[in-house]
Amino acid sequence: MAQTVPQISLGIVHGNHSEVEVALSEFTEQKIGRSNVFGLAGPNDLVQIIADIPGWKIIGGAVATVYFKALIGEIAKDHWKEYGPKIKEVPAALQAKFVRLANALKRESDNEWPVSIGLTEPVFCMHDRSDRVSLHDLSPEELARNLFIFSHCAQPVSEWLSGVYAVQKQKYEVSVTMQITGRIPGESLGTLIVELHPARDIDLRNYGGVSRRVYDQYGKIIEETRVS
């Protein structure tokens, strides 16, 4: 049986974002595709890292290789950021590649172009924006934390949202928002919150009845809100 080729893409409106594309390709050792996002040229540009499940497994694995002790071994520490740069057994070249990616994304953000991460599909927003996780702190440590959490949540979230998407009678009857919460010292790296927002006169009970799910750092559902 032929193996599925991982799909990792850069979502952009227009312009040259080759620095991010090259940095992401070098870090993941994958060819990076491009996905055109609806929008006007100029100040409406953005940068999105989007991938399918195999692609997110590659991203998550690469991040864990660099920041394993910071993300896992030192999860109970109050200042876990201190440990990322101190990992000695990880090749310096791999660490440098990740820092290069973080710096490239930060430069995009400094240009006031929003940076976000998400799934290749399903897509619940015609502008491909709301169903993404926005990234604001693009330090290497925070980027690693967000990529690690999303990579572990990608499969269960995709399975849930694919089921919702499949029963829509028309596109965009339901929109989706996602956010990753902050770290809880000594307990968690953070959670991913995914919420469904139905259009007027749309009953979420026809979509499984779940309006909100919270996933822990490993993709386990720890909280669920159902429509009564």
> Is residue 209 a part of any domain in this protein?
yes
Query: Is 3 part of any domain?
Result: no
Question: Percent of the chain, pLDDT > 90?
Answer: 49
Is 30 a member of any domain?
A: yes
Q: Residue 219 pLDDT more than 80?
A: yes
Cβ pair 175, 131 in contact under 8 A: yes
Please state the rounded mean pLDDT for residues 191-196.
Answer: 95
- Spatial contact of 87 and 67, defined as CB atoms under 8 Å apart: yes
Residue 182: inside a domain:
yes
Residue 42's contacts (CB-CB under 8 Å, 6 or more residues apart) are none
Q: Does 150 have pLDDT greater than 80?
A: yes
- State which residues form the domain around 123: 8-226
**Does residue 162 belong to any structural domain of this protein?**
yes
Could you tell me if residue 2 is inside a domain? Answer: no
Classify residue 161: in a domain, yes or no.
yes
Examine residue 215 and state whether it is found in any structural domain, yes or no: yes
CA distance 213 to 195: 7
- Tell me which range, 17-26, 115-124, 170-179, is most confidently predicted by mean pLDDT: 17-26
At 155 the pLDDT is 96
Whether omega before 122 lies within 30 degrees of 0, making that bond cis, reads yes
Asked if 194 and 212 touch (Cβ cutoff 8 Å), the reply is yes
Q: Is it the case that residue 85 has pLDDT exceeding 60?
A: no
Residues 23-78: tens digit of each pLDDT = 999 999 999 998 888 765 555 688 999 999 999 999 999 998 887 665 655 454 44
- Domain count of the fold of the chain: 1
